[in-house]
Amino acid sequence: MAAKQKSRRVLPGFGLSMGYTVVYLSLIILIPLAALLLKATTLNFGQTWNTVTEPRVVASYKLTLFTSLVAAIVNAVFGTLIAWVLVRYQFWGKRVIDALVDLPFALPTAVAGIALTTIYAPNGWIGQYFEAMGVKVAYTQYGIIIALTFIGLPFVVRSVQPVLQDLDQQYEEAASTLGAGSGQIFFKVIFPAIFPAVLTGFALAFARALGEYGSVVFISGNMPMKTEIVPLLIITKLEQYNYGGAAAIAVVMLGFSFILLFLINFWQWRTAKKHQVT
């Protein structure tokens, strides 16, 4: 057999664009991340372990995970509902509402942070009513959850919306001709179809919440052991010039993020594959 001839690509610029992409990715992403991993290993294992298992640090993991999870669940429920309303119903001002859903993507987190803090402070627009009921929102875990709900809101809506749009109403009509009630139709026909999208949106909102800093730092009050989130703790270590400690905690957080990223990709790959077969 003849030697394989050099495979030539039809469109030009592959070598150039690929080379540029690899170099740029390495400079901006890979080298800095490698620096982080290297720095984290400058402490010995015992020191690292102590840093990342300090009670104050563990408390911040728990807080961050818990509040992010609650916020993501709230977003999964209300985000799905909002997507449903935006896709299925016609009402005045829908276009504006639809555009506003993306505000948390566009609004700088610091602005969201101070605005939410002001609203939910004990004398704020909404905070005063909670105060009257004896509930403190700002400077507590509730405040953190509200901030994280705000920044995660668009993820679920924007994941579910296109899927709902593409969902052929024939399925619902078919189900209703077969005698299904509207509740059955929703839970047996619609929900299974949009569930992967809900889960993707949930995971994205969750991942975003885990790393969120700007909107939370104002409303949380930053009390050690109580309302101190992981990113804040990294900054605290940094301000004490404890670079190794900051890096160690950052690596733990990165680990969480990557596991989540991996799960999202795996999930999307699996649903894509499932759809291919059918």
Partner 1 sequence: MVSREVTLHFDTSAVKVASRFDSIRKWLLIGVALLFLGLFILVPLLAVFSEALKKGVQLYFAALIEPNAWAAIKLTLVTAAVAVPINTIFGVIAAWAIAKFNFEGKNFMLTLIDIPFAVSPVIAGLVFVLLFGSQGMLGPFLAEHNIKIIFAVPGIVLATIFVTFPFVVRELIPIMQDQGTDEEQAAITLGANGWQTFFRVTLPNIKWGLLYGVILCNARAMGEFGAVSVVSGHIRGLTNTIPLHVEILYNEYNFTAAFAVASLLALLALATLVIKSMVEWKTQKH
Partner 2 sequence: MGISICDVSKAFSSFPAVKNVELEIPTGDFVALLGPSGSGKTTLLRMIAGLESLDSGKILFNGLDYTNKTVKERKVGFVFQHYALFRHMTIFENVAFGLKVRPRRNRPSKREIKEKVHELLRLVQLEHLVDRYPSQLSGGQRQRIALARALAVEPEVLLLDEPFGALDAKVRQELRHWLREIHQKLNITTVFVTHDQEEALEMADTIVVMNKGMVEQIGSPEEVYHHPANAFVYSFLGRVNEITGKALSETTLRVTDLEKGTVGYIRPHEIVLKKTSEGLGMLVEVVHIHSVGSTVRMQLKRRDTDDLYEAELTIETYKELGAVSKGDLLHAEFNNIVVFENEPGTSHSLQEQTKFTAAFN
Instruction: Give the binding site for partner 2 (CB under 8 A).
Output: 1-2, 4-8, 10
The span of 51-59, 136-144, 158-166, 175-183 binding partner 1 (CB under 8 A) equals 175-183
Shortest spacing between CB 226 and partner 1, in angstroms = 19
The answer to whether the beta carbons of residues 175 and 232 sit under 8 Å apart is no
**Which of 14/24 has CB closer to partner 2?**
14
The span of 25-33, 44-52, 55-63, 192-200 binding partner 1 (CB under 8 A) equals 25-33
# residues near partner 1 by CB under 8 A:
90
**Which of 38/225 has CB closer to partner 1?**
38
Residue keyed to tokens 């555009």: 99
Distance CA(84)–CA(88), nearest Å, equals 6
Shortest spacing between CB 46 and partner 1, in angstroms = 21
**Amino acid in position 133:** M
Q: For residue 130, what are the contacts with CB-CB under 8 A and spacing of at least 6?
A: 120, 136, 137
Distance CA(231)–CA(21), nearest Å, equals 30
**Which of 12/134 has CB closer to partner 2?**
12
Q: Report if residue 272 touches partner 1, rule: CB under 8 A.
A: no
CA proximity to 220, closest of 121, 154, 74, 131: 121
Shortest spacing between CB 159 and partner 2, in angstroms = 29
Q: Report if residue 129 touches partner 1, rule: CB under 8 A.
A: no
Interface residue with partner 1, options 52, 72, 205, 210 (CB under 8 A): 210
**Amino acid in position 96:** V
Q: Report if residue 89 touches partner 1, rule: CB under 8 A.
A: yes
Helix (H, G, I), strand (E, B) or coil at 263: helix
Shortest spacing between CB 248 and partner 1, in angstroms = 11
Helices (H) and strands (E) in the chain, counts: 15, 0
CA proximity to 153, closest of 89, 78, 95: 78
Interface residue with partner 1, options 4, 6, 8, 95 (CB under 8 A): 95
Which helix or strand (DSSP H or E) is residue 35 part of? helix 31-40
Shortest spacing between CB 8 and partner 2, in angstroms = 5
Shortest spacing between CB 80 and partner 1, in angstroms = 10
Which of partner 1, partner 2, none lies near 259, with the C-beta cut-off 5 to 8 A by kind? none
Q: Report if residue 32 touches partner 1, rule: CB under 8 A.
A: yes
Radius of gyration of the chain (CA): 23
